[in-house]
Structure formats: structure tokens, C-alpha cells
Amino acid sequence: MEPPPGQATRPDQLPPEAWRAIDPIAGEVVRRCWRTGRGFLVLTTLRCLLLWRRRELLRTKEWEVSPEVMLYNVQPPRVLFGRFVEIAPAYDEGEAAIRAGVQDPYSVAEEVAEAIPDARRAWDQRRAAAQAEFEAHRKRHDAIAAALAAGVPAPVPRVPCRYCGNPMPITARRCPSCGAPAG
């Protein structure tokens, strides 16, 4: 994952090694990040997460992500005690809330609140695509099950030959096109 372009993280810029700790979901982009007491609060197009570096006795460990809140299921952010911003899931599903001390918690809460509708639309699009993929898979499975019930043997999967590239049955010992040994 690459840092956001331009001034998106100024003045709170993440160190390069911290970017590798964020395990991006396909198509996810970092919108903004803010410095906290122990690390960074990172807002992406799909989730909000706390990125921090664990310290042990005399050395620092790698960057860690914990906790993270998916923005499809989140309460409006709250400001606590005028110093902390809280981003919590709408339903208690075992997810921890993020409570981070930031420089300006009111602007952070406002920016997260503005990102929630866009994130929900993005999650809805992802769900629709996954549902369409599931339905296509289900139709293929139902067609194969119907063929097996009718007594038609299931199609044998094919792999390309290492030598000529023509498809050959996965159970064949030799390629039917060039005669090369399989495997």
C-alpha cells in the first residue's frame, strides 16, 4: 500500500515501514492519518484502524494494527473529554472500539463521520459483487449436480501441457497433442 498522494497525511506522516503493516483490502485507499499518543489513527475508504509500535524492554517491535473498525457497521464518532475520539462498532460483535488521543478530536470526528456514507456505499458494492459471484458459482454447481444425477460423468479438469501448452486431462500420463510426459 502506498502513502496517500500530496498533503493527505501532513503534518502526521507515517514512517515507510508502517505502511507495510496495514494489510489492505482489495481496492482500499488511505484517506487520512493522525498522530496519536502511541502511534497513528488511520482512516481508509473501508475501515478505521489504530497503527502502533509495540515496545519491549529495550527494543521496539514491528508496527501492529489493533483495533480496527469496519466503517459499514459503525456508530457516529464521539469526542470524549475534549481530548479523545472514539470510533465504535454499532453492534457489539467482539470488535473493540478505537479510543485515540489526537491533536484536534472534533475535526477528526467530523472527518470520520463524513467518510462513513462513502464507506457504506463501497461495502454495499462489494457485497453485490460477491453475491453475483456466488450466484454464478451456485448455477455452475447446480448444473454439474444435475448432470451427475442424470448419469452424465463430470467433466475432467484440464491443465496446460508443460511443453506444448495445449490443454490435457489432469489424469493423463502423456499429452494427447505432443506425447510429452505429464508432471
CB-based contacts of 53: which residues, under 8 Å, 6+ apart?
Answer: 18, 38, 39, 60, 61, 62, 63, 64
Residue 17's closest CA among 41, 33, 34, 1? 1
Tens-place pLDDT, residues 27-71: 888 888 888 877 888 888 888 888 887 766 556 667 777 778 888
DSSP letter for 105, please: H
- Edge-to-edge order in the sheet of strand 30-35: 30-35, 39-44, 47-56, 59-70
Tens-place pLDDT, residues 61-112: 677 777 788 888 888 888 888 888 888 888 766 667 887 888 888 888 888 8
pLDDT, residue 6, reads: 46
Q: How many angstroms separate the CA atoms of 100 and 34, rounded?
A: 10
pLDDT, residue 104, reads: 84
Q: How many angstroms separate the CA atoms of 139 and 94, rounded?
A: 35
Please state the pTM of the whole predicted model.
Answer: 0.64
